[in-house]
A and B are shown apart, each in its own frame.
Chain A
Amino acid sequence: MILTDYKGANLFDELVDASGKIRPYYRNVAEKLSSLGNEELSQKLRSLELLFLNQGITFTVYGDEKGTERVFPFDPFPRVVPAGEWEHIEAGLIQRITALNLFLYDVYHEQRIIKEGVIPPEVVFGAAHYRPEFVGVSVPKDAYIHVCGTDLIRDRDGRYLVLEDNGRCPSGVSYVLENRNAMKRVFPQLFGSSGVRPVDTYPADLLATLRHVAPRENPNPNVVLLTPGAHNSAYFEHSFLARQMSIEIVEGRDLIALDGFVYMRTTRGLRQVDVIYRRIDDDFLDPQVFRKDSCLGVPGLVDAVRRGNVALANAIGTGVADDKVTYAYVPDMIRYYLCQEPILDQVPTYLAWRDSDKRYILENLPQLVVKAANESGGYGMLIGPTATAAQIEEFRQKVIHHPRNYIAQPVVNFSQHPTLVDGGLEGRHVDLRPFVLWGDTVKVLPGGLTRVALTRGSLVVNSSQGGGSKDTWVLAA
């Protein structure tokens, strides 16, 4: 692989600094990668591809007529995060999840942050995923978001910015673990003395987090993973995590709620369930309470949750915290609940429901990114600078008619990372999704999913929109 031709661009490059010199913490891996011959490299790439295919590391694209499953594209050049940078990220993420959990507790109890005028009521009550029916319902250990995947990007100066919090059912962690496995098998020599922090404790940490909220005094609580089924885009991850944690993976029809308890049907009769790691959205959990047409859920599940006989991770109603309008208020939340200044910055956000912001958005649509407040996965989004006139017009109408549903942000030309394209290295935009676990202690997985936009110049990294991923190396020192 030839590194000498690689050049940074007019934005933050992860590998090289402004003068084109390789950053010191990349030297080790860059040297080893560039010592590989072309023949050797293409052989390794073929093994990687086979490995991913054989492991069945796939995802599903919605709205695609052709096939359902695709191999998640993988780039072998790892992203390296030095220890000092990681410490900053870790501190910021822990601060953020703490504030978000306090916020969720508050909006489902006394709602002081609203009464004291820190957050306008319409932000909370107008959020599509706010569940007023859960006001006053206590959840074990006051924990709402047990697993959080927070998307970070870096601006022109290399500053990490929070792009969004995923506090419902964040996915992607299985790719973090599998990417590392693949790298270790195909490029063992890269790891030699690099001091990369391991990620393989994640399943055990996740299980501990889930067991922590078990409602009964039971030394061996029954934890299950509830999946919508094999057609879900993240089914690979569901089965992967269940296997790694040695817990049962169940679908709605495998569970039954009786007298306020939830049981799992087994070949030896019913067995009580204590904790459900659910990878189903709130809407589909329980047809008695939420969507009546859901056949993925369990009738009576919500009743059992209310009675405190079963714990859900993440809890019901966390969507109000990762709503994109709420996002704009997270710094205020941190100040309000923790009496601290936010450690991680975030992207400036214009809220269409505020009249002055709305006017600004409508006047500057071609320069802005417009996002639907409650969508995720890169669906329902407008990137002004690359959009067609028709798309801009479509979003103009949406913003005018449903202002609560839309926010806008300036385009952040986020950082790029060298990526293997047709045998050479080219810069491609990357983001980073670290995973935070909120249990007896708060843990941040040292690493995360680095997603890369494989199309030149594209800022969309979502796998559903043609993104790939990289192994992420957090250095120990």
Chain B
Amino acid sequence: MKLRILHRTEYRYALPVRNNANALRVTPLTNLRQKLGLHLVRVLPAVRMRRYPDLYRNHVHLFEIEETHRELIIDVSSIVETTPTPVSAIPTDVPLAAVREEEVIERFQPYLLSDGPIRITPEIWRAAVDVEKDRGDLFSVIIALMDYIHSTCKYVPGATHIGTNTEEFFAKPQGVCQDYAHLLMALCRSIGIPARYVCGYVYDAKRGDVIGSHASHAWSEIWIPGYGWLGVDPTNKKVIHEAYVASAVGRDYRDATPVSGSYWGGGDREMRVTVHVEAK
């Protein structure tokens, strides 16, 4: 499937600001599932762009605007070709014990920690154990955990903020895709399954069916030995398929933030994000 993604982030500052330095993680990844074609970042005020790949091999764009300005617009356009991930290729016979091998634990240690927004509490562990109980293979455990989140949490924009951790969200399960993804990761990690965070986009063919198609979206990836990272979207209760495009991965939201930066200046700031994903 060929998707065209337009991602615009606008900031308006009540007072002029300067030395506005930003790091963008908005470049769709190229891997077995997806291939990046045209990709361009356009910034207003005009500024030169630098790039580097980070620890997680996300493409980071960097820029700094020195002169004073009251408006910053970051326009990202990408064309991505995705390939379907056939559900039949996902193994349903990998035992849960497979992730408890020494080499898995050693290799995926960063994706097993209770750290930052992923806070593994006894309550979260209890819930995970209850869901996992009597299920033999990894895939069905992951699906069961996803179903569990989808049925217990409510999608309420504005109920949480960017720094909400899983303990807070689990206590009052109302939030957005970021919270859903973090919670699924916390549940998985609590029973020893490596899980990481993915930021990206989703195409909504039916218009109105999919949550997250009008902004950047987030989901989780779970490690299945012998298969690889399996993308799971607890917000929409879906195993990710060709309508999904990943732009950054990491241990949690902090590693995959689409736009992060700092500037000199006070006053209020207003931010607006619009995302359009179209099939070509």
Contacts and interface: CB of A to CB of B under 8 A. Distances in A.
A308 to B, nearest CB: 14
Contacts of B44: 141-142
Interface stretch (A127-135, A221-229, A309-317, A331-339): A331-339
A205 interface: no
Prevailing SS type, chain B contact patch: strand
B93 to A, nearest CB: 41
A87 B37 contact: yes
Contacts of A95: 40
B50 A94 contact: no
A343 B41 CA distance: 15
Given A87-B38, A94-B40, A339 B46 contact: no
Contacts of B138: none
B46 A142 contact: yes
A335 to B, nearest CB: 11
A102 interface: yes
A156 interface: no
Given A91-B37, A441-B75, A105 B46 contact: yes
Nearest to A83: B280
A102 B65 CA distance: 13
B48 A106 contact: yes
Contact of A112 (B48, B49, B75): B48
Contacts, number: 44
Contacts of A101: 46
A194 interface: no
Interface string A118-146: 00000000000000000000000110000
Contacts of B6: 441
A337 B41 CA distance: 11
Most A CB within 10 A of own CB, among B41, B46, B77, B79: B46
Given A87-B79, A339-B51, A441-B75, A102 B38 contact: no
A142 B65 CA distance: 13
A329 to B, nearest CB: 15
Contacts of A442: 40, 42, 77
Interface string B42-83: 101111111100000000010000000000000101010000
Interface in A422-473: 441-442
A338 B51 CA distance: 8
Contact of A102 (B48, B77, B79): B48
Nearest to A102: B46
Contacts of A339: 49-51, 61
Contacts of B77: 94, 441-442
A90 B4 CA distance: 13
B38 A94 contact: yes
A413 interface: no
A91 B48 contact: no
Contacts of A340: 51
B163 to A, nearest CB: 31
A374 interface: no
Interface residues of A, number: 21
A98 interface: yes
Contacts of A338: 40-41, 49
B82 to A, nearest CB: 16
A337 B40 contact: no
Nearest to A112: B48
A33 to B, nearest CB: 29
A90 B280 CA distance: 14
A102 B77 CA distance: 17
Interface in B8-62: 37-38, 40-42, 44-51, 61
B45 A142 contact: yes
B38 A91 contact: yes
Nearest to A90: B38
A356 B38 CA distance: 37
B279 to A, nearest CB: 12
A339 B40 CA distance: 10
Nearest to A336: B48
Interface string B123-134: 000000000000
A339 B48 CA distance: 9
A70 to B, nearest CB: 39
A98 B46 CA distance: 10
Most A CB within 10 A of own CB, among B40, B61, B79: B40
B58 to A, nearest CB: 15
A209 to B, nearest CB: 14
Interface in A98-114: 98, 101-102, 105-106, 112
Contact of B40 (A87, A98, A106, A142): A98
A420 B40 CA distance: 41
Most A CB within 10 A of own CB, among B38, B50, B77, B79: B38
Interface in A75-92: 87, 90-91
A95 B40 CA distance: 7
A105 B43 CA distance: 12
Most B CB within 10 A of own CB, among A90, A91, A336: A91
A101 B43 CA distance: 11
A95 B39 CA distance: 9
Contacts of A87: 37-38, 79
A337 B49 contact: yes
A442 B77 CA distance: 10
Contacts of B38: 87, 90-91, 94, 343
A142 B67 CA distance: 13
Contacts of A105: 46
A90 B39 CA distance: 11
Given A87-B37, A87-B79, A441-B75, A337 B48 contact: yes
A441 B41 CA distance: 11
A98 B42 contact: yes
A336 B47 CA distance: 11
Contacts of A337: 48-49
Most B CB within 10 A of own CB, among A105, A336, A339, A442: A339
B275 to A, nearest CB: 14
B41 to A, nearest CB: 8
Contacts of A106: 46, 48
Contacts of A141: 44
6 contacts: A91-B38, A91-B40, A94-B38, A337-B48, A338-B41, A339-B61
Interface of A: 87, 90-91, 94-95, 98, 101-102, 105-106, 112, 141-142, 336-340, 343, 441-442
Interface of B: 6, 37-38, 40-42, 44-51, 61, 75, 77, 79
| Interface pairs A-B: 9 shortest CB-CB | A91-B38, A142-B46, A105-B46, A339-B51, A337-B48, A339-B49, A102-B46, A339-B50, A142-B45
